[in-house]
Structure 1
C-alpha cells in the first residue's frame, strides 16, 4: 500500500477493557500474524532486538510497524474496564453554528449574542480564502435552517462583507484597515494571480502570506513543485523565513491578543482545508464521567488546578515533569528507552503508590527503574480521559496527511497546535521536547526519530473506551499515518509553536480598528474625562516624540533600580542588544538573562514578549506608538 493510499485511509481508533476487546478489523488475523505480514525479523532468544532499523519513510511503512503493534498489544493488555465511548459528529447546521461561535462570529446568526469584540472588525481583516470559509459556513447554516422551516436572522453573505457603512471622513476611510479594496490589495499580493512569493524555496516556510492563500496559488498551478532534498531521517530540512520584526512564539502574547489569534487561526485552518478540498468533520466534546482528583486518568485542567495550589503558575502536570526529570537524571542513554516496556506488575504497583505518596513527597524515586518510568509516562498520556490532541480536532490532526506536500502538512499542523487548549498545548510541547532529547542520544539508546514516533503514536492517538469497526487495510494505514504525524510533531516542533506573521498582522489591524472605533464612539466623554490627564502627559509625549525623531527610544524597566534608559536606534540594533546593555549598566540585577524579555506594549498590540533577534527600527516602523519595557518573563 502506498503512502498516499495510507494517508487517505487514516481513521480514529482507541482501546477498550482488555486485549480480547481490542478493535479488530472484520476477519483480521491475530496480532502476531499481522506483524509477520511485514516480514519482521524477530530476535532469537538471547539476541538483542534490532532497534535501529528505520532510516527512511519506506522502513517506517514496513519494518518499524512491528514496534507499533507490540505497543498496541501492551496497551490493550494493561487496560482496565472502561465504558465504550461513542464519538459523534455534529449535524449539518449545528456544526456551522458551533464553528461561527468559536470564531467569534455568533452575531452573524444570533443578534442577541454578546461579545467584547466587533465581528465586523474581525471580518474586515480576512483574506479572500478566509472570507470564503466564513461565507460557506454562513450559507450552509442559512440553507439548513430554511430546510427545517426554522426562523432565522442570518444575513446575506453579500451584506456581511460590505465595507463599514459609515466613516467620519475620507482620511478616516483611507486609513481604515476595514476597506474591502485595501484588503484585496493586501491579500492578493504575491499570491493567487499566477505569482509566487518572491525568492521562496520549497524548503522555506513563509509566515507572511496566509497558508490558505499559498495553497490556492499552488492549486491554480502557478508553479510546479520542486523536488525536495530529504534529510537522513526522510524528512526535509524546512526553515522559517525570518522577519525583521521578530518571530512570535506561543506564550509571547497576552490573553486578549491570544484570543484574537485563536479565532483567526480557526478561520485560517478551515480555509486551508477548504482550499485543499479536504472535508473536515469535527466531533462533539466527550461527555464522560471523570476522576475529580488523583494523578492518572484525571483531566488536564483538573490536574493543573491541583498542581497550581502547590506550585503557582504550573503549566505542565507536576507528575509528568517529575517522571521526565527522573528519566533524564538516570540517563537518556538507556538502550531501548520508551520501546522496551517496564514490568507490568511493577508499573501498576508504582502507579498506585504514586497516587498515595506523590504530593506528600514520600515516594522513593531512587527505586524507580528507567523502563518502568518510561512506561508510567506513556500510561499517563494515554490514560487522560480526553485525548491530548482533543476530540474536537482529533480528525483534523489525522487528516493532515491528505495534504499533497510536506510543507502544507506542516502549515496545517502549525494551525492545529495553535488551536489546542492551553493545557493540552503546553503538555504536548513538554512531551515533544523530551522526546527530542531522547532522540539526541540515539547513538547510546538506539532510539531514532522513527523508533520513537512508532512507539509513541499509539499512546498519543489511541484513547480509552473508543472502538471503531475498520478494515484491515484501514488498520495498517492508521498505524502508518499516526506514526508519520508524530514524526512531524517531533521533528518540526520549533516551527509548530510559532504564530505566523500574517495572523499577527491581522491582530494588529483589529486592535487598531477597535481603538479607532472606541475613540470615535466615546470621543466627547473621553475628552471631558481626560483633558486634565492629557495636559499632564503632554510634555512627556513631546519628549518621547522628540526622542523617536532623533533616532532614540526610551526603554522602561519599572521592576528594577534602573528605571529607564534612552537607546539610540540603528539598522542593526536588536532586542538582544538592548537587554545586554541594560544588564551591563545595572549590576544589582539578580535575574538570569534568559528570564528577562523586552516587551512591546501598546499601539497596535496589547503586549508581546520580543524575540531577541527582533530588529528594533523595523518594529518601531510597524508600531510607532508602542512603549518598550524590560521585565521578567512570566513562565
Structure 2
C-alpha cells in the first residue's frame, strides 16, 4: 500500500462506496489520515533499503501456490511420485478441486510454452470421480434442514468412509445469519448461494450494523482452536486453508496470489527493523519456549501497568524526538536489563509499539498474504469476509500469528477502557490499520479514490481482526474432518503397500518368528485393552495418581467430566493437579493429536474416531 500523498482526500468522494465501507464515512476516517501523517513524520529516514516484491509470471505464481498447497508432486521431476498429492486430491470438495484444477492447467500451459517436458498428471479424472460425491456437499447445504437420514453407510473403520469430510452435512445449517457454519466448506456454501436465481451473492446493504454478533454454533465433537492439533496435522490444515481460501476468492472474482520478496540484507540483532524470526531466535536463546518477542511483550505490559485509561491512547502520538531517543537507548540497553522504564510516558510507549510493528522488514501479516488480507474487502458480505480472515490467520507462520494474537488481545483490553480513554473499537481500528497494512514494497501509484477505498477497507479488516479474534483462532470443523480423511486415506494406502510387500517377501521371512512377534504384540494390546466392553473407553493419565480408568460412554458424557473423574481421585504421593493444568487428548486413529475442549461429547467423538487413544496430560507434555 503506497501513501505518497499522505494528506486526507478533500471533499466528498465522487463515487459510490462499496459494501466494505458501509458505515465508514469520510469524517470517521479522520483518525486514519492523521495516523498516516504521524507515520510519515516519525518515519525512519535511516532505513537503507526497503523490501521489494518480486513479480513472477503467472505460471510461477501458480507453481508456488501448488507447492504451498502440498501438491508440488503434481508436476516437475517428482511427478511420478505423487501418492501424497493424490491423497490430498481425493479428499477435496467440489469447489476446492476446481481451484486446484485451475492452477494445474495454468502451470501445464506455462510449461508447454517454455518447452519443458515435465510430467503433469491429468487430475481431471480424479475430480470427475469426486463430482458425484462432492455434489452431495452442494445439495447438503441446500437441504440440510430437511436431512435426517444419512447414516445408512457403515464400514469397518468409519475414518475411511468417503463421507467423513462431508459428515457435517447431516447437521442443520445455522439458524440465523449471525451463525458461522464451520461444518460445511465455506466455499461450498458460497458456491451454493451464488447459484441463486439472481446469479450472484447480494452485497451487504448499507446500514448501521457494522459488526454483527457472529457466533459459532456448538459442535458435539468439540471446537478446535489453533494450538490444539499436532504439528503434522496443522501442516495439513494450512495447505487445505490455502486451497479453501483460493476457492472462495475464485467464486467472487478476487485474487489470492502469494507474493514473494527479493532477499535483502537485514539486521541480525537488535529490536527495531529486525526480522520477526531473528527476534524470536535470539529471544529463545535467552528464554526457551518464547513465542512472542520479549521486547513486544514488555511494551504491552508496560503500557498496561501505566493504566489503559489514558485518553487518546494509541491515537495521540508521542513526541517524535523523544521516541527516536528512546529507540536508540532501548537498542543499547534492553537486553542488558539496564533500560529505565520509569520515565517512559504512555503515549511514547504506544508510539514505540506501533513503530516496532511498522519497522519489521516484512509486515506482520507477511508479504505473501498482505494483499490477500487487503482483498478480503472485495468479498460481498461480512460473513464471507470473516470466513476468509479465518483462513488467512491459519496461513500465517506461527511467530506472526502468535504476535498478532498478542497485539489483538492488547487492543481489545484498550477498547475495554473506552469510557475513560475514549478509544472505541472503530477508533482503534482506524489508528492501527495503517500500521499493519501500509507496506511500500507492495505499493503501486494510487489515486485519491483508491486511497479512500483502501483506507475504509483496511480499517474494516482491522476492526474484524479485533472484534472476532476468538472466532478467527478457531480451526473450522470441516478442515479438521478433511485432515481426518487424509490421515485415513494415507493409512489405508500404507496398509495396502505393507500387505503387498509382505506378500512379495513372505518366503524370506522366518514364519515361526514372525508369528511369535505377532503374538507378543497381540498380548501387549490385550493387556492395555483387557476386557474393555463395547461402549467403554480406557483413558490413560500417566502423570496423575490414577493412571488408567475405564469409562462408560453416555450421550451426555463430556471431556470435562472425564478429567473431573480423574482429578477427584485421592492423590497420594503425586502432586495435586488443577483442572486448568491438564486436558483430555484424542491421539491416533484418524488424527495425530488433538486437545479436546471441555464441551466435547465423548460418544460422538468416539464414533468419529473409534481407534483413538484417550490421554489426560498438560499441554507441555
TM superposition score normalised by structure 2: 0.86
Query: What is the CA–CA distance in structure 2 between the aligned matches of 1:37 and 1:431, rounded to whole Å?
Result: 34
Aligned residue runs from structure 1 range 193-208, under 5 A: 198-200=172-174, 201-208=176-183
Q: Deviations along 1:448-476, whole A, 9 cap, x unmatched?
A: 10000000001111136665311111111
- Partner Cα separation in structure 2 for residue 449 and residue 486 of structure 1: 10
Q: 1:74 aligns with which of 32, 38, 52?
A: 38
Instruction: Give the Cα separation in 1 of the matches to 2:350 and 2:385.
Output: 29
* Map of 2:134 onto structure 1: 184
Equivalent position SS for 2:78? coil
In the alignment, is the contact (CA less than 8 A) between 1:104 and 1:115 conserved in 2? no
| Residue matched to 2:482 | 506
Task: Give CA-to-partner distance per residue, 1:512-570, whole Å, 9 cap, x none.
Answer: 11111112212355997975454234355446667653432211112333322222222
Whether the 8 Å CA contact 1:192–1:217 is kept in 2: the answer is: yes
- State whether structure 2 residue 83 is matched by structure 1 residue 102: no
Offset from partner CA, 1:485-536 (integer Å, 9 cap, x none): 1001111111111111111111111111111111221235599797545423
1:348 aligns with 2:324: yes
Q: Secondary structure at the match of 1:601?
A: strand
Q: Which residue of 2 aligns with 1:7?
A: none
- Which residue in the other structure is 2:149 paired with? none
2-side partners of 1:530 and 1:611: how far apart? 42
Alignment of 1:62-141 (within 5 A): 62-81=26-45, 82=47, 83-112=49-78, 118-141=84-107
Partners of 2:126 and 2:479 in 1: CA distance: 21
Residue number in structure 2 paired with 1:16:
none
| Match among 401, 406, 429 for residue 405 of structure 2 | 429
CA distance in 1, matches of 2:339, 2:80: 50
| 1:159 positional shift | 4.1
Closer, same or farther: CA 590–568 of 1 in aligned 2, 3 Å: same
> Residue 338 of structure 1 aligns with which residue?
314
Match of 2:164 in 1: none
Q: Tell me if structure 2 keeps the 8 A contact 1:87–1:466.
A: yes
Q: Of 339, 361, 370, which aligns to 1:363?
A: 339
1:154 to 102, 120, 143: 120
- Determine if contact 2:202/2:380 at 8 Å carries over to the other structure: no
Match of 1:520 among 486, 496, 505: 496
Q: CA deviation at 1:234?
A: 2.4
1:603 aligns with 2:589: yes
5+ residue gaps, structure 2, are 14-19, 147-168
Equivalent-residue separation in structure 1 for 2:479 and 2:197 (angstroms): 24
Asked whether 1:61 is paired with 2:25, we answer: yes
- Partner of 2:353 in structure 1? 377
Cα separation, 2, equivalents of 1:417 and 1:532: 50
**2:236 partner SS:** helix
Judged with a 3 Å threshold, the aligned counterparts in structure 2 of structure 1 residues 429 and 569 are, in CA distance, closer, same or farther, namely same
TM-score (norm 1): 0.84
Going from structure 1 to structure 2, the CA distance change for 1:444 and 1:292 (only over 3 Å counts) comes to same
Task: Provide the rounded CA distance (Å) in 1 between the counterparts of 2:81 and 2:401.
Answer: 25
CA distance in structure 1 between the aligned counterparts of 2:338 and 2:81, rounded to whole angstroms: 48
Match of 2:162 in 1: none
Equivalences for 1:12-91 in 2 at 5 Å?
12-13=1-2, 23-24=4-5, 31=7, 34=8, 37=11, 60-81=24-45, 82=47, 83-91=49-57
* Residue 73 (structure 1) shift: 1.1
Cα pair 1:547 1:553 within 8 Å, conserved: no
For 1:273-284, list aligned pairs within 5 A. 273-284=249-260
Q: C-alpha distance in 1, partners of 2:131/2:440?
A: 51
Which residue in 2 is equivalent to 1:633? 619
SS in 2 for 1:565: strand
Looking at structure 1, the residues matched to 415 and 81 of structure 2 have their Cα atoms a distance apart, in angstroms, of: 46
Please give the alpha-carbon distance, in whole angstroms, between the structure 2 residues aligned to 1:271 and 1:622.
Answer: 27
Equivalent residue pairs, number: 577
Cα deviation 1:375-427 (Å, max 9, x = unaligned)? 11111111100111111111111111111111111111111110111111111
User: For residues 518 and 410 of structure 2, what CA distance do their matches in structure 1 show?
Assistant: 52
User: Where does the alignment leave 5 or more consecutive residues of structure 1 unmatched?
Assistant: 1-11, 14-21, 25-29, 40-55, 164-179
